[in-house]
A and B are shown apart, each in its own frame.
Chain A
Amino acid sequence: LAKTTQPISMDSYEGQEVNITCSHNNIATNDYITWYQQFPSQGPRFIIQGYKTKVTNEVASLFIPADRKSSTLSLPRVSLSDTAVYYCLVGDSAGNMLTFGGGTRLMVKP
């Protein structure tokens, strides 16, 4: 199984940029990297997906270095409503299943 490693928790303040890094040393050639957000009592929600370099959408940016062994989710100017758990996800080397790591619990303070 492809394993991911993320910080357990992070604190930030409203208006700041938050960067959450995920390590995925055994990512396979065909794997994409996907990030999800989860609020209490809800299922995870897709944020952004990328393969290499940089991807940006209306809510976040994803930075992936050339070796693809890590990725960084960037949330610009966070608000209190961004307080959630963030998961990065990659496929395993055989492409058979997707397993979530423990996620990063982001707390945004006023």
Chain B
Amino acid sequence: NAGVTQTPKFQVLKTGQSMTLQCAQDMNHNSMYWYRQDPGMGLRLIYYSASEGTTDKGEVPNGYNVSRLNKREFSLRLESAAPSQTSVYFCASSEKGFYNSPLHFGNGTRLTVT
């Protein structure tokens, strides 16, 4: 099993450009999440999807949109990238949702906005 797969691994954008970060999981998990991690910091929740067809804002949703395309896939879109969005983005999934269900993470997308 691949687990949680994120693409691309690295990306450089200019201010104002848009892009979509892709995430797919093969564990048949119900819930999926997007986090960002700034250098030397913990992870902050951007958006999450408790189940297919639902999405909700996390701690830092401004400047982002998400799509839960199907049970496997959860994408994160930056419509107009800003330097403050330079970060490492992690996608995660869990079986049952926030309660009592460990998160499984991908290896991240490293995004630089110049």
Q: Which residues of A contact B (CB under 8 A)?
A: 1, 30-32, 34, 36, 41-46, 49, 51, 87, 89, 91, 95-103
Chain A nearest CB: distance from B40 CB in Å?
9
Q: Are B99 and A96 in contact (CB under 8 A)?
A: no
Nearest 6 Cβ contacts at the A-B interface: A43-B105, A46-B102, A100-B43, A100-B42, A32-B100, A102-B42
User: Taking the complex as formed, is B41 at the interface, i.e. its CB lies under 8 A from any CB of chain A?
Assistant: yes
Q: Are A100 and B44 in contact (CB under 8 A)?
A: yes
- Report Cα–Cα, A3/B14, bound state, in Å: 35
Partner of B59, one of A31, A45, A51, A99: A99
Once bound together, how far apart are the Cα atoms of A46 and B35, in whole Å? 16
In the bound complex, what is the Cα–Cα distance between A31 and B35 (angstroms)?
Answer: 20
Chain B residues 43-58 with CB under 8 Å of chain A are 43-45, 48, 56, 58
Contact across chains for B102 and A97 when beta carbons are under 8 A apart: no
Query: With the chains together, A98 CA to B31 CA distance in Å?
Result: 12
Minimum CB distance partner of A89 in chain B? B103
Specify which of B56, B105, B106 is in contact with A96 (CB 8 Å cutoff).
B56
Partner among A42, A51, A98, A102 whose Cβ is within 8 Å of the Cβ of B103: A98
List of B residues within 8 angstroms of A98 by Cβ: 33, 45, 98, 103
What interface size band does chain B fall in? 20 to 34
A46 neighbours in B (Cβ, 8 Å): 102-104
Partner of A44 from B56, B100, B105 at Cβ < 8 Å: B105
Q: Are A45 and B105 in contact (CB under 8 A)?
A: yes
With the chains together, A31 CA to B97 CA distance in Å? 12
Chain B residue at minimal CB-CB distance from A47: B102
Cα A97 to Cα B51 with chains together (Å): 13
Q: How far is the CA of A51 from the CA of B45 in the complex (A)?
A: 23
Judge whether B92 is part of the interface by a CB distance below 8 angstroms.
yes
- 18 A-B residue pairs with Cβ-Cβ distance under 8 Å, sorted by A, are A30-B100, A31-B99, A32-B99, A43-B4, A43-B105, A43-B106, A44-B90, A45-B105, A46-B103, A95-B98, A96-B98, A97-B59, A97-B98, A98-B45, A98-B103, A99-B43, A100-B35, A102-B41
